[in-house]
Each structure stands twice: as C-alpha cells, then as structure tokens.
Amino acid sequence: MIQPTQAVEAFKKKTSSLLIPTSSAHSVAPMPTVVPNRPRYETVGEAGTKTLWVVFVIMFLSTLAFTVMAWRVPVQKRLFHVITAFITLFATLSYFAMATGDGNSYAEIILRETHKRTPDTIEYVYRQVFWARYVDWSLTTPLLLLDLAFLAGMDGASIVVAIVADLIMVLVGLFAAYGKTDGQKWGYYAMACAAYLVVVYQLVVSGRRAVSAKDNKTAKLFASIGGFTLILWTLYPIVWGVGDGARKWSVDSEIIAYAILDVLAKPVFGFWLLFTHASTTATTVDGWWSNGLGSEGSIRIDDDGA
C-alpha cells in the first residue's frame, strides 16, 4: 500500500523536472525594449534675460541721442539722422518684447537615431526661437542698407535689388530657425547665404563705383563703415549656424552673441556715421523732403478739363 507521503514525494520529482528550462536549438533572443525619450527644452536663462534688458536700454538711449542730434541740424540735413534713429527705435521695441517674454516660441526639432537590430529612436527637442529678432532685422537691415546706399550715391536699381535680397535673407533665415529636420534648416540657411552674397555684391561693386564720383573723405568713410558692416553681417550667419543650426551653443550664449553684434551694427554704426559725416560735407536733401510736395506732384486741371 502506497503511503500519502510517498505519493507527494513522487509528484515533486516528476514536476520539478518541468520547472527546469531545457536548451533548444531554436532559442529566440529577447526583443529589446525601446523607451521613448522625454522631450528636451532649450530655453533662455538668467544671463540671457539680463542681456536682453541691457541691450534694450542701450538701444533706447541711442534712439534718444539720435533724435536730439536730428533736431540740432536743419531738416535738409536730417536724412541720415532720421534713418539711423528708426534703426535703433525698431531694435528698442524688439528687445523690449524679448526681454519681457514676448516675441518668441518653440521650434520642434526631430532627432532620429537609426539602429541595425533595434527600432529607431526619436528624440524631440524644443528650442526657444525669438522671432521678434527676425522682425527687427526685416526692418532695420534695409534701413542700414539705405544709409550706406545714400552715402555712396548708389542708383535706385541697385538699392532695390540689395533691399529685396536682404529681405529674402532674413525671411528664409526665419524659416530655417523653425525647420524640423536638418534638411530644412540647412537648405534655408544656404538660400539665406546666397541672398547675402547678392547684398555684398551690390555694396562692394555698385557702391564703390558710385562713391568713386564723390569726394575723397566720403569715399574713405564709405569704405571703412561699409567694410565694418559687412564683417559684422558675415558673423551673423556664423552665430546662427553654431546656435540655432548646430545647437552647439545654449540659448543664452546665442543671445549674448547677437547682442554684441546688434550693438556694434546699430548704435556704434549710427554714431560713427553721423559724427564722421557731419565733419565732412553733409548730404543736403531739398524738394519734398524739406519743403513738402508743394507744386511738385500736384495734379493740374485746365479750364477745358484737359
């Protein structure tokens, strides 16, 4: 007769062998688990915010200074004063918007990493882009070009081509800042650089040809301040490429770099132009600028209706 204890022991021996895994010639490796990456945010910090406020103050004080300088000269000689004051005025509004938290949004950047044996991993990066800066540039850079063009005495066709190329450069730069993939970013970036070369050509070739007909002091001023402007404008796409493009710099570093360039390209440029040009033969503009339309441009109707 089998004792109950013997039956239990026999059951344990039979079932224990089932709990031991056996090797198989067709074993399947476990599938790896892909953990989705959390979105990463690149935003402005304390250093960037302080920089925006400092530049706002510089632009505001420069606008006041240019306005006072304009009132101290006759209206016939205020052309460069008015244009330069508008440049820093628009920059003042732009920096106030950025410093107070307006004029920005986040650009979504998709980073895809391909693997051979596992599914691709995707990372989403949200970088803060200050679109107010591009609005600023779309208004101020054409005015800067007008300052240089009027100083050199460039023809109207060259001025229009330079301004249109400049606007294309700024707008496609904005598109590049919001590009989701590297193809979009660097494609728009290449277009902006091509448009910038058109601006350089107009200033270097057409500008130098026009200013050669003027006095020696004006020619030297255009060569020096024009070269200074082109060097600064060449640094802007470099900063963009390192910052928004390759994202090697933080948002704060990008803000500081743009701030330095903006101060040099606007207030420093303006004071240099106005003080130096005033010591030479200042440009005088008559006609509608000084006296209004008057009889110029008025419509004359004869008694017979002709």
User: Using CA of residue 226, residue 197, residue 250, residue 188, what is the dihedral sign?
Assistant: positive
Taking only the tens place, the pLDDT of each residue in 105-144 is: 998 887 777 767 777 678 888 999 999 999 999 999 999 9
**Residue 14 in domain:** no
Task: Say how far apart CA 165 and CA 192 lie, in whole Å.
Answer: 9
Residue 60 has pLDDT above 60, yes or no: yes
Going by C-alpha positions, the residue among 103, 107, 109 that lies closest to residue 138 is 103
Q: Is residue 200 part of a domain?
A: yes
CATH code of 72's domain: 1.20.1070.10
**What pLDDT is attached to residue 139?**
97
Note whether residue 300 is domain-resident. Answer: no
Would 21 be classed as within a structural domain?
A: no
Q: What is the pLDDT of residue 277?
A: 78
Please determine, for residue 274, whether its predicted confidence score (pLDDT) is greater than 80: yes
- β-bridge partners, 156: none
Total domains in the chain come to 1
- Cβ-in-10-Å burial (0-12, 13-18, 19+) of 271 comes to middle
Asked if the structure places residue 67 within a domain, the reply is yes
Does a structural domain hold residue 87? yes
The pLDDT of residue 37: 67
Q: What is the pLDDT of residue 201?
A: 96
Residue 17 pLDDT exceeds 70: no
Burial of 209 (0-12, 13-18, 19+ CB in 10 A): middle
- Mean pLDDT in residue range 282-301: 56
- pLDDT tens digits along 137-184: 999 999 999 999 999 999 999 999 999 999 999 999 999 999 888 888
HEC secondary structure over 215-282: CHHHHHHHHHHHHHHHHHHHHHHHHHHHHHHCCCCCHHHHHHHHHHHHHHHHHHHHHHHHHHHHHCCC
Residue 167 lies in a domain: yes
Q: Which residue has the higher pLDDT, 88 or 72?
A: 88
**Residue range 214-272, pLDDT digits in tens:** 888 889 999 999 999 999 999 999 999 999 888 899 999 999 999 999 999 999 999 99
Q: Is the pLDDT of residue 280 over 90?
A: no
Residue 305 confidence class, pLDDT cut points 50, 70, 90: very low
Q: Which domain holds residue 147?
A: 36-281
Residue with the larger pLDDT of the pair 299 and 189? 189
Band of pLDDT at residue 33, cut at 50, 70 and 90: very low
Sheet (strand 40-42) strand order: 40-42, 121-129, 105-113
13 domain-assigned: no
Q: 211 vs 305, which has greater pLDDT?
A: 211
